[in-house]
Amino acid sequence: MARDFKDKVVVITGAASGLGYSLCKRFAQAGAKVAGLDKDAAGLKALAEELGGMGASVNTFLCDVTDEAVVNDTINQIIDNIGDIYVLINNAGVSHVSLFKETRAFVLKRVIDISLFGTIYCTKAAIDSIIKTQGTVIGIASVAGYAPLAGRTGYAAAKHGMAGFLNTLRTEVDRDGVKVLLVFATYIKTNLAKNNLSADGTPMRQERPTSGNVLMPDEAAESIFNAAAQEERQLLLGETAQASWDLYHSDPQTYEQIMLSLNEYVFNSTADDGDS
């Protein structure tokens, strides 16, 4: 039987825009009590107004997922004021587009802090509550979570780390009735591409070339919602994700050659990259 989210508490990070915003809407449509976390106050206000206009139950929280104390306080507020958590969706993330040799170490740390440690902090704070409800932990990873992606060493480290963390967590909490879903997503039309960091940590403010199909956030949210309802362990989201998984696990060298041909632009100099 599919899981029912009506009147269940669903916590979503990176909720103020893009995929997180769409996930909030989709779970709200299913009758969930949505708790949206983000650093973007204006985006959270818009989310609360839209979902409130639908008659949905929604609460928003300003939260920097890289600050463990803030995360703990936020999750405790949710549990105390809304109820125990049934679904936690670790969606917050940022990437960079820059060669490792040119990238400042603090940029790599920033990417890893948000995508990986943000997931660890939120999950750690919520896990006892999720065990109590026999709920679900979801991680929004990427093709870069199982295969190399030139120019994104920090992002690949974060998403590989997320995959290792959640796959291992599953083995520990399965006996408690908790489900863990890893989403390996292809390109989704979100602000992430425009907010990619450059080698010195400044936002790139422009999108980069993509390969294969690009999913719209609402389409991606629907697929993730259905995978969670069906208690799936893994979702390869999009045709490119499925094709990349198959090729990388059968012929990694050919995968790398194709990936490099599609990402040749990352080998341009940092100076040229900033001016383009």
> What residues act catalytically?
155
∠ CA 223-25-61, rounded to 5°: 120
The identity of residue 76, as a single letter, is N
As a whole number of angstroms, the distance between CA 260 and CA 59 comes to 43
For residues 94 and 115, is the Cβ–Cβ distance under 8 A? yes
Token couple for 116: 């990986």
Count the neighbouring beta carbons within 10 Å of the beta carbon of residue 195.
16
Q: Is 254 exposed, middle or buried (0-12, 13-18, 19+ CB in 10 A)?
A: exposed
